[in-house]
Amino acid sequence: MKKILITGGSGLIGTILNNHLMVNYEVHNLDINKPKNKDHNIFIGNMNKYQDVLESSKDANIIIHLGAAVQMDSDWKLVFNNNIESTKNVYEAAKNNNVKKVIFASSNHAVGLFENDSPYKEIVRGEYRDLDPNKIKKIDENVPVRPDSFYGVSKAFGEAIGRYYYETYKIQSINLRIGTVQKIDSPKSSIRHYATWLSHKDIAQLVEKSIIHDLEFEIFYGVSNNKWRFWDIKNSYNKISYEPVENAENYR
């Protein structure tokens, strides 16, 4: 069985992935918190400390890097320590432990300022009048980064350092621009989520297919097959056969 290290495995997405992947993989976690599920293997440590990341990723085939300050309004110091420094630690540990692949939890907020533009700003407000969802120009992996916060900046940094470690050290770097994952698996808490929602089933599928396939440097959007989604998932469909099964419209 392949050994997978998940940073931040006690969080929401980490818990979803642990429960899904532990059937077919040897899953370990690096976290400062103990997981609620006692079946989850845990290395209590700090991803901001390089030695903790190095030790916990020994013999791993893949690192899934989820650990981060996740609030969009996080200040620079918090973002620097928990998102930027930690991501550098992950890639450096991957290099020194000969880990072949890093799957990085990037974010839609790396390109969040597109939501200041039409038609995206209307969609996130639920103003669908005169809009055809089939004719919306989708935001794809080739657009310039447009972070909407220090948090978004940190995710753009993670993608950039992943490119560096791929081109320099040939570590496969898969960057998932994750949409909205909710503890209660539904988009109902915000009108914006009818465009941006990513279900538990679909995040699990996206990550597992990123594990299975041999890749290089990739950017994939993490979003369910929502009627009003404005992120392009053709790249993940073509590269890893990602086919989301949920549509937020079914919950409206």
Confidence (pLDDT) at 149: 98
DSSP letter, residue 231: B
* pLDDT on residue 32: 87
Task: Collapse the DSSP code of 139 into the 3-class scheme (helix H, G, I; strand E, B; otherwise coil) and give the result.
Answer: strand
User: What's the Cα-to-Cα distance from 130 to each of 114, 190, 247, rounded to whole Å?
Assistant: 20, 21, 21
Residue 42 has a pLDDT of 78
Using CA atoms, how far apart are residues 87 and 120, in angstroms rounded to an integer? 30
Joined together, the tokens standing for residue 173 give 């770097």
How far apart are alpha carbons 166 and 101 in whole angstroms?
9
Q: Which residues pair with 176 in a beta bridge?
A: 105, 220
Distance linking the first and last C-alpha atoms of the chain: 41
What distance in Å separates the CA atoms of residue 4 and residue 18, rounded to the nearest whole number? Answer: 10
For the chain, 252 residues long, the average pLDDT of each consecutive 10-residue run is: 93 95 95 74 89 96 96 94 97 98 98 98 97 97 98 98 98 98 97 98 98 98 98 98 98 95
What residues does each domain of the chain span?
Answer: 3-251
Q: Are 7 and 66 in contact (CB under 8 A)?
A: yes
| pLDDT of the residue at 43 | 82
Question: Which one of 3.40.50.1110, 3.40.50.720, 3.40.309.10, 3.40.109.10 gives the CATH number of domain 3-251?
Answer: 3.40.50.720
Helix axis angle for 200-212 and 12-21, nearest 10°, is 60
Q: Is 87 helix (H, G, I), strand (E, B) or coil?
A: helix
The per-residue pLDDT for 227 is 98
**Which two tokens mark 246?**
């949920």
Which residues does residue 29 pair with via DSSP β-bridges, in sequence order?
6, 42
CA distance 162 to 90: 10
Residue-level pLDDT at 44 = 82
DSSP state of 80: I
Alpha-carbon distance of 233 to 177, in angstroms, equals 11
Q: What's the pLDDT score for residue 35?
A: 65
* pLDDT of amino acid 161: 98
CB burial readout 199-230, b (16+ within 10 A) else e:
bbebbbbbbbbbbebebebbbbbbbbbbebbb
Distance separating alpha carbons of residues 25 and 213, to the nearest angstrom: 15
